[in-house]
Amino acid sequence: MSVTDVGNEARKGWMGLLARAPSARLAACLEAVGAMPGFDWLRVPEVGGVMVRGRMGGTGAPFNLGEMTVTRCALRLESGEVGHAYVQGRDKAHAERAALVDALMQGDRAGELRAAVLAPLQAAEAETRRARAARAATTKVDFFTMVRGEA
Amino acid sequence: MRDDVLSGGFAEAPVEAARAFRVALEAMARPGTIHTVSGAAAPAPVSVAASVLLLTLCDRETPLYLAPGHDGAAVRDWVAFHIGAPLAGPGEAMFALGGWDALKPLDAYRIGTPDYPDRSVTLIAELPDLEAAGARLTGPGIREAAFLSLPEIDAFRANRALFPLGWDCFLAAGDRIAALPRTTIVEAL
Amino acid sequence: MYVAVKGGERAIDAAHEWLAEERRGDRAVAELGLDQIREQMSLAVNRVMAEGSLYDPDLAALAIKQARGDLIEAIFLIRAYRTTLPRIGHSHPVDTGAMRCDRRISATFKDAPGGQVLGPTFDYTHRLLDFKLAADGALPEAPVGAPAEAPMPRITEFLNRDGLIQDELAGDETPPDMTRQPMEYPANRALRLQALTRGDEGFVLGMAYSTQRGYGRNHPFVGELRIGAVEVEMEVPELGFDICIGELVLTECETVNQFAGSKTEPPQFTRGYGLVFGQTERKAISMALVDRALRWQELGEDNLGAPAQDEEFVLAHADNIQASGFLEHIKLPHYVDFQSELELVRRMRAAAGDEMREAAE
């Protein structure tokens, strides 16, 4: 059950989704899944700062923009899978749930978790983004020419 | 990264790191005193004492040099997961870990500058044993004299001569630590 | 004579308790929740995050509540909290080109691909007080349209294609971090941008305004201003690959500045750059103007002696926490210092009196 079997790309996808998900929504999805397996901590949830970098002119050399709060943890399920989480904010329960899902996605229950947790989170995120983009779209300016000056 | 290097950190980092820091402080403030620590285990050959010191003193902003014998995939991965310290050569390191002879040559390390004497290395030397006998120690933090089983005398005397520049040194053996700051005067008995 | 005194603990405790009561205000009025501050005072939250240099809307809301709305005090609280956080790492530079824009405008190209998207802006409001807000008015839903699918390329890319704008060379060197090493002058551009993005909005605005009024004029246009969400990615050593750890709202401003050329550079457009946490466009535009003014040396321009060209002056005074710390400390007890001044003045007066008497005799 090594990490490489899962496919790093897929794992990258769900770890990002879990990090961006609102904590309450993730908790509600996991509630529906039912009892969680036991686990040992490899790294208890820890709140820290990550220095966010930008690029000069958007594309140039990097510079330090400022920090963001991040909570991380790592755990090992009784069945051996190791789950990691790096989650924006200071919510330790959010990090724990994200690491649990990460670990469970590497085992037999991946299908169940995908349907009960990842799919609804994905749909909710897409809807939130669509709703903002739809509002932005109505504020796009339509220019029309009134008079064309000919000198 | 291998899963087995993910264990061996503090179970309750804030409390254990605070306790260990107090011990490290005490050891450095009272050169020659020997203290016992517990709670961490890096992959072999790193001792419990050195593991505790690394977890307590190092972070991702303290370049760490792993001397031959201590430098290996398992130790590197353990450092990456639990500490995040960037690995560096002896010339850039703020901490250096290894057996006494493996840490040499000692003039390769940073000893600070007259403006910033603190920009120097702290050595963590792994010894087979540590006991309160051997070299005679005097100086700040020592009431009259202390005795410690040092791996050698000359290097510490030469370091003392550089004061206020120079390196500081933790000595680790199993779960025991002692320390010698650059201020301690070392004499053979 | 030196007399050490101690005391005031009781007075200080009482002051803190009264402060807490005053913070709460009239208890007959409902207490503010952090979620209310976060959602309804979001631009104040953004300013506290930007100048506190820590992106965490809930913490910024708490700081604003605790500081009774004094934003500089709130920024101070955030800065103090920030120092307690272990540094977990640094992100990859964010890709603002991939921003999901709420707003994106250009003052230079009307027909830019992706269009002019106004977003939730104050720009075209009439600045008339809306008394409906005082009366708990019902809010109509904002209209929705079909979300744009097309990407929004950078405006400066068009100019860059023709070589008309000075290139921004990508690099991957580790930028200096003023939160880790003390500032040293001359600073490079990376350090200047870090200092400006967390600098006081009023100060940076004033500096930028001074360049527009002629003190180091550099003829800026807002090439592009965009506000929106970007994902933050970082490398995680235990995984061996990069993951997204969250999402930030940023404001980015790129100015295009007329440039007649110098001994080292051909005539072309040059850039000023602003990037700030949150929806903070006044700050981002100001930052871009000041960034451009501070680049006089690398572009081979003349030093006109303008305040905004003086790197040490700008960077050393941009930080409102440093400034207010030093400024406000003079109201704290200086009894001993003042006692010695008092004695000095008395001695000088006595000496001057003696001299005058001697002269008169």
**Cβ pairs bridging A and B (under 8 Å):** 18
Nearest 5°: phi and psi at B179? -145, 150
Cβ neighbors of C254 (< 8 A, separation 6 or more) are A57, A58, C154, C155, C156, C222, C223, C224, C225, C271, C272, C273, C274, C288
Residue A117 DSSP symbol: I
Kindly report the nearest CA distance between residue B129 and chain A, in angstroms.
31
Domain assignment present for residue A151? The answer is: no
Residues C76 and C111 in one domain: no
Is B1 within 8 Å of chain C by CB? yes
Domain assignment present for residue C276? The answer is: yes
Residues C181 and C206 in one domain: yes
pLDDT tens for A26-51 read 999 999 898 899 999 999 999 999 99
Domain assignment present for residue A144? The answer is: no
- What's the number of domains chain A is made of? 1
Domain assignment present for residue A17? The answer is: yes
Average pLDDT over residues C252-274: 86
Long-range contacts at B112-117 (CB < 8 A, ≥ 24 apart): B112/B164, B112/B165, B112/B166, B113/B165, B114/B164, B114/B165, B117/B164, B117/B165, B117/B166
Helix (H) or strand (E) holding C249: strand C241-257
- d(CA C108, CA C155) in angstroms, rounded, equals 8
The pair of structure tokens assigned to C36 is 């209310």
The pair of structure tokens assigned to A133 is 């983009």
Percent of chain B with pLDDT over 90: 90
Domain assignment present for residue A56? The answer is: yes
pLDDT value, residue A150: 67
pLDDT at C314 exceeding the cut of 90: yes
Q: How many CA atoms lie within 13 A of A89 on its CB side?
A: 18
Residues C19 and C113 in one domain: no
Nearest 5°: phi and psi at B124? -120, 100
Lowest mean pLDDT among A46-50, A109-113, B95-99, C160-164: C160-164
pLDDT at C45 exceeding the cut of 70: yes
Is A62 within 8 Å of chain C by CB? yes
- What's the number of domains chain C is made of? 2
Do the beta carbons of residue C54 and residue C74 sit within 8 Å?
A: no
* Chains in touch with C (≥3 Cβ pairs < 8 A): A, B
Between A119-138 and A8-20, two packed helices, what is the crossing angle to 10 degrees? Answer: 60
Domains in chain B, start-ordered, CATH in brackets?
Answer: 3-187 (3.40.50.11310)
Residues C287 and C256 in one domain: yes
Residues composing chain B: 189
Contacts of B81 in chain C (CB under 8 A): 237-238
Residues C110 and C33 in one domain: no
Kindly report the nearest CA distance between residue B48 and chain C, in angstroms.
22
Average pLDDT over residues C263-276: 87
Domain residues for the domain of C108 are 96-119+152-167+176-324
The pair of structure tokens assigned to A142 is 């339509």
Is C332 within 8 Å of chain B by CB? no
pLDDT tens for A119-151 read 999 999 999 999 999 999 999 998 877 777 765
A42–B13: do the CB atoms touch at under 8 Å?
no
Residues C190 and C63 in one domain: no
pLDDT tens for C171-186 read 888 999 999 888 889 9
- d(CA C246, CA B64) in angstroms, rounded, equals 30
Is C90 within 8 Å of chain A by CB? yes
Residues C230 and C320 in one domain: yes
pLDDT at B138 exceeding the cut of 70: yes
ipTM: 0.93
Q: Which one of C84, C88, C238, C239 would you mutate to disrupt binding with B, by most B Cβ within 10 Å of its Cβ?
A: C238
pLDDT at A3 exceeding the cut of 60: no
Do the beta carbons of residue C221 and residue C255 sit within 8 Å?
A: yes
pLDDT tens for B88-131 read 999 999 999 999 999 999 999 999 999 999 999 999 999 999 99
Residue (of B97, B101, B100) closest to B123 by Cα position: B97
Adjacent-strand bridge partners of B111: B120
pLDDT value, residue B121: 98
B14: nearest CA partner in chain A: A46
CA distances from B69 to B45, B50, B99 (A): 8, 14, 8
The pair of structure tokens assigned to C1 is 């004579």
pLDDT tens for C198-245 read 999 999 999 999 999 999 888 899 999 999 999 999 999 889 899 999
**What percentage of chain A's residues is helix, strand, coil (to nearest 5)?**
50, 25, 25
Helix (H) or strand (E) holding C227: strand C220-236
pLDDT value, residue C5: 67
B81–A43: do the CB atoms touch at under 8 Å?
yes
Is B11 within 8 Å of chain A by CB? yes
Residues C76 and C187 in one domain: no
Residues C185 and C41 in one domain: no
Residues C291 and C252 in one domain: yes
B8: nearest CA partner in chain A: A42
Domain residues for the domain of A12 are 3-137
pLDDT at C2 exceeding the cut of 60: no
pLDDT at A7 exceeding the cut of 70: yes
* Chains in touch with B (≥3 Cβ pairs < 8 A): A, C
Angle at B14 (CA atoms; ends B10, B19), nearest 5 degrees: 80
pLDDT at A104 exceeding the cut of 50: yes
* Chains in touch with A (≥3 Cβ pairs < 8 A): B, C
pLDDT value, residue A2: 46
**Cβ pairs bridging B and C (under 8 Å):** 20
Cβ neighbors of A81 (< 8 A, separation 6 or more) are A1, A103, A104, A106, A107
Q: Give the confidence band of A6 by pLDDT, cuts at 50, 70, 90.
A: low
Q: Give the confidence band of C361 by pLDDT, cuts at 50, 70, 90.
A: confident
